[in-house]
Amino acid sequence: MSRRVIVQYAGFTSKPIVGEYCFLVRDVSNEPREFTFTIPNAAFRSHRVRYQDAPEICSIKLHRQLAEQLNHPLKTHYRITDIELGNYRDFHLSRKRVNL
């Protein structure tokens, strides 16, 4: 039987070098855990990522980490890589083309 896990976006903080995205993960058997994801500000300035897409990109990575670690990720801080940004962009561009 799988446990119910609730993921809640808790906000954004602008830092000098990165944008920091915070999420809370709650399940019935544990205290809430906080997870932080960073995206370099340069990625926004160079248009590799849109500000409005950043929380979704971080959420996708968090859900992937939760699934891979059986809801017990080893880390609580993650950096979103250029590869992950490219994969997100490519996936969404291919979906737009299919829907046209």
Any idea where the domains of the chain sit in the sequence? Answer: 5-99
Per DSSP, the three-state class of 46 is coil
Burial degree of 44 (CB within 10 A; 0-12, 13-18, 19+): middle
How high is the pLDDT of residue 1? 42
Of 3, 2, 15, 6, give the one whose Cα is nearest residue 35. 6
Per-residue pLDDT of the chain (100 residues; tens, 9 = 90+): 456 789 999 999 999 999 999 999 998 777 899 999 999 999 999 999 999 999 999 999 999 998 888 766 679 999 999 999 999 999 877 766 555 5
Q: Taking a C-beta distance cutoff of 8 angstroms, is the pair 4, 28 a contact?
A: yes
User: pTM for the whole thing?
Assistant: 0.85
Residue 51: how many CB atoms within 10 A of its CB? 10
Task: Give the torsion sign (CA, 28, 76, 14, 84).
Answer: negative
